[in-house]
């Protein structure tokens, strides 16, 4: 195809001389790469760690069936060169968070364009662009909704200026003991898959929770007595070891999870004083429940009867068990995949059997796949519109017209001006942002006696605050090194609690990330108990910190992030975000903000153009809330 240049003539020189980094070669990335090539950009680097899956082919049009399993970045490059072979495109099949992509690497680019699908990578690229002082264009889509925004140090808010909501989670005792919604049963079934075939996690134990606070007292005592040996002890074996002893006999697995465990739960009589008790299933008497209302539906949209669930469970167990026996090496476990037929059949069957036991509506295989994989439908047209808007914002940046840059929202329906594309002025940086403010600070509430240094690094620094290579010193006048990014330097600290280093209420920690060129001061607030049994709470604005005495009777804490607690009876079960998503999407209304975490500010994508600060924006509509 001949060279095509749709840019205004005044931009020609800037476009030809620019060097563009595209992070992500998925739904938005494919459309964006095509647009850049057709707009006259000559020097492009695209990076993506992902490989092409069959499910990508309906919206990522640079890929074909023969490309399945290959690098997205490499194939996207090859396909884009078909539009203009004279363009220089470098493809990297790698993670942008690797250490080789440091600040010096980012400084070589004129503009960085994010087409990512996860929060950690977005936050990392945001910090690297701030450190390198390179403009960043952030974007995201969810179904018919989308948004684009330009970010520049000192001129606009950054990606982290408005903390994002944490992942949806459920109390562990709800998942194990008292499910009330289909999603509870689906999460339980995914955990069961991991217990039997995957990488087992103590937090994902599917056995009844005997320490459930609602079942206090003599709950389960009869069942425990029945399990006791002559020595008076209860012999415990892992779920997988028990299954292996029976060679994954489907009837025995069914008997344990849908009969014996349910009878055990019924012995916890206090759980059922205000709930409908579950009904155990018998292997020899499985109801058919054939419905006459599913005629004409395709296979995956039909809701299976309990008997059909048992058939699917039996066949999937045989396949998965055979696969597990063929595994060798250290990682001798299966990984659940929504696109794997046996894995999906297992989770669909087991979740629906559990739903039947607890009188919860069952779901079709199609619905279970969407819920288990956290899938929000991706629409090719939305990706194409957003990719075009990214290039328009890039034109403004190259012309030096930052005052004309906008947040641009793509709505699912026309706004008050009868438009589906609604621009709004860029907001100024949050002066209390823990990333781009002159003196970044956060407050972390946790139990210093229970939180280990390892958990603090993994869950708080890397997980919630998205650091890559943190170094942490205690501000105690002695320069005590708590965590070092140098391998092996502080290994002996990892298993110790924070209190072992005299960290207490009010202690300050100085954190640095050499890779991100990011410094952060953390104030530790010691709390024996936190709202909703969280292991920690991060507060970006200290003015939102509640007095310690008021915590027990207060409402939701103004947190920016929290992580899943260590193994305990009240551990929360997090629902992970599927990697196919381009953006985190939540429904709500303008009046919902007080019910959410107060520090989370959601932007309307249904209102008319903004002429000033966020306070001048129109009221949110019910279904049009999106977060980058």
Q: Write down the pLDDT at residue 51.
A: 92
Which of 51-65, 97-111, 368-382 comes out lowest in average pLDDT? 368-382
Q: Write down the pLDDT at residue 587.
A: 30
8 A C-beta contact, residue 461 and residue 485: no
Q: Write down the pLDDT at residue 319.
A: 95
What stretches of 330-466 show up as alpha helix (H) in DSSP?
341-357, 365-372, 380-398, 453-455
> What digits encode the pLDDT tens for the residues 388-402?
999 999 999 999 999
Does position 17 have pLDDT exceeding 90, yes or no? yes
Res. 55 pLDDT band, cuts 50 70 90: confident
> What digits encode the pLDDT tens for the residues 211-270?
555 554 444 444 444 444 444 444 456 788 889 888 999 999 999 999 999 999 999 988
- What is d(CA 85, CA 32) in angstroms, rounded to the nearest whole number? 17
Structure tokens at 536: 């920690």
Which residues contact residue 524 at a Cβ distance below 8 angstroms, ignoring those fewer than 6 apart? Answer: 443, 444, 446, 448, 498, 503, 504, 505, 506, 507, 508, 509
CA proximity to 307, closest of 356, 380, 366, 246: 356
CA proximity to 442, closest of 510, 499, 351: 510
- What is d(CA 196, CA 334) in angstroms, rounded to the nearest whole number? 9
Q: Write down the pLDDT at residue 372.
A: 87
Does position 103 have pLDDT exceeding 80, yes or no? yes
Res. 618 pLDDT band, cuts 50 70 90: very low
> Strand pairing of 111-114 and 20-23?
parallel
Which residues contact residue 168 at a Cβ distance below 8 angstroms, ignoring those fewer than 6 apart? Answer: 574, 575
Phi, psi (5° rounding) for residue 113?
-120, 120
Q: Write down the pLDDT at residue 209.
A: 65
DSSP secondary structure string, 285-329?
A: B------SS-TT--GGGSPPPHHHHHHHHHHHHHHHHHHHHT--S
H/E run at residue 112: strand 111-114
Phi, psi (5° rounding) for residue 626?
-140, 145
> What digits encode the pLDDT tens for the residues 119-155?
889 999 999 999 999 999 999 998 899 999 999 998 9
More confident site: 344 or 567: 344
| Termini Cα distance of the chain | 35
Q: Write down the pLDDT at residue 583.
A: 35
Structure tokens at 136: 């960043």
> What digits encode the pLDDT tens for the residues 147-203?
999 999 989 999 999 877 665 667 778 899 999 999 999 999 999 999 999 987 776
H/E run at residue 143: none
Q: Write down the pLDDT at residue 6.
A: 55
The alpha carbon dihedral of 582, 588, 593, 595 has a sign of negative
* Percent of the chain residues topping a pLDDT of 70: 77
- What is d(CA 200, CA 139) in angstroms, rounded to the nearest whole number? 35
Does position 546 have pLDDT exceeding 80, yes or no? no
pTM over 0.75: no
Q: Write down the pLDDT at residue 229.
A: 41
- pLDDT averaged over every residue in the chain: 81
More confident site: 564 or 201: 201
Which residues contact residue 316 at a Cβ distance below 8 angstroms, ignoring those fewer than 6 apart? Answer: 342, 343, 345, 346, 349
The pLDDT of 612-623, averaged and rounded, is: 32
* Percent of the chain residues topping a pLDDT of 90: 59
Which residues contact residue 173 at a Cβ distance below 8 angstroms, ignoring those fewer than 6 apart? Answer: 209, 212, 213, 214, 569, 570
Res. 534 pLDDT band, cuts 50 70 90: confident
Which residues contact residue 37 at a Cβ distance below 8 angstroms, ignoring those fewer than 6 apart? Answer: 44, 80, 81, 83, 84, 87, 89
Kindly list the catalytic residues: 173
């Amino acid at each position: 195809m001949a060279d095509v240049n749709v840019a205004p003539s005044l931009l020609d020189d800037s476009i030809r001389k620019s060097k563009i980094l595209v992070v992500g070669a998925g739904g938005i990335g494919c459309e964006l790469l095509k647009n850049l090539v057709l707009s006259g950009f000559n020097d492009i680097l695209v990076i993506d760690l992902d490989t092409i899956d069959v499910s990508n082919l309906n919206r990522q049009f640079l890929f074909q069936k023969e490309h399945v399993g290959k690098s997205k970045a490499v194939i996207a490059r090859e396909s884009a060169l078909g539009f203009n072979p004279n363009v220089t495109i470098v493809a990297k099949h790698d993670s942008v968070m690797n250490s080789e992509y440091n600040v010096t690497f980012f400084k070589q680019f004129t503009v960085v364009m994010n087409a990512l699908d996860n929060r950690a990578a977005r936050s990392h690229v945001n910090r690297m662009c701030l450190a390198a002082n390179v403009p960043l264009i952030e974007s995201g889509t969810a179904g018919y909704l989308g948004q684009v925004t330009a970010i520049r140090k000192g001129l606009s808010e950054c990606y982290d200026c408005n903390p994002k909501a944490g992942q949806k989670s459920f109390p562990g005792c709800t998942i194990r003991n008292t499910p009330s919604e289909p999603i509870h049963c689906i999460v339980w079934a995914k955990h069961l898959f991991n217990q039997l075939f995957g990488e087992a996690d103590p937090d994902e134990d599917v056995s009844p929770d005997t320490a459930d606070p609602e079942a206090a007292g003599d709950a389960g005592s009869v069942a425990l007595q029945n399990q006791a040996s002559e020595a008076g002890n209860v012999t415990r074996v892992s779920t997988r070891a028990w299954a292996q002893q029976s060679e994954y006999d489907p009837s025995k697995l069914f008997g344990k999870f849908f009969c014996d465990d349910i009878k055990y739960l019924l012995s916890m009589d206090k759980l059922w004083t205000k709930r409908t008790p579950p009904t155990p299933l018998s292997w020899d008497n499985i109801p058919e429940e054939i419905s006459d209302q599913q005629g004409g539906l395709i296979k995956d949209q039909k809701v299976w009867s309990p008997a059909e669930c048992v058939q699917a469970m039996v066949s999937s167990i045989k396949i998965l068990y055979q696969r597990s026996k063929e595994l060798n090496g250290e990682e001798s476990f299966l990984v659940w995949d929504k696109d794997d037929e046996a894995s999906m059949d297992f989770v669909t069957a087991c979740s629906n059997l559990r739903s039947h036991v607890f009188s919860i509506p069952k779901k079709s295989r199609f619905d279970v796949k969407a819920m288990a994989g956290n899938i929000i439908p991706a629409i090719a047209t939305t990706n194409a519109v957003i990719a075009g808007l990214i290039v328009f914002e890039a034109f403004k940046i190259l012309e030096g017209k930052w005052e004309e840059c906008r947040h641009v929202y793509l709505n699912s329906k026309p706004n008050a001006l009868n438009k589906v594309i609604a621009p709004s002025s860029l907001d100024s940086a949050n002066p209390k942002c823990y990333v781009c403010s002159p003196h970044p600070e956060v407050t972390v509430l946790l139990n210093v006696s229970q939180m280990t240094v390892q958990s603090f690094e993994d869950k708080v620094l890397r997980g919630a605050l998205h650091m890559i290579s943190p170094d942490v010193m205690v501000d105690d006048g002695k320069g005590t090194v708590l965590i070092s990014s140098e391998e092996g330097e502080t290994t002996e600290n990892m298993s110790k609690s924070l209190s072992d280093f005299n960290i207490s209420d009010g202690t300050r920690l100085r954190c640095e990330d050499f890779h991100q060129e990011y410094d952060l001061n953390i104030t530790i607030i010691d709390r024996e108990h936190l709202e909703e049994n969280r292991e920690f709470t991060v507060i970006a604005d200290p003015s939102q910190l509640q007095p310690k005495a008021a915590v027990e009777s207060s409402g939701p804490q103004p947190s920016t992030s929290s992580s899943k607690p260590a193994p305990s009876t009240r551990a929360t079960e997090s629902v992970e975000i599927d990697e196919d998503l381009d953006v985190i999407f939540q429904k709500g209304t303008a009046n919902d903000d007080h019910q959410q975490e107060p520090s989370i500010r959601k932007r309307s994508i249904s209102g008319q153009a903004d002429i000033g600060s966020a306070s001048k924006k129109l009221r949110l509509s019910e279904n049009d809330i999106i977060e980058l």
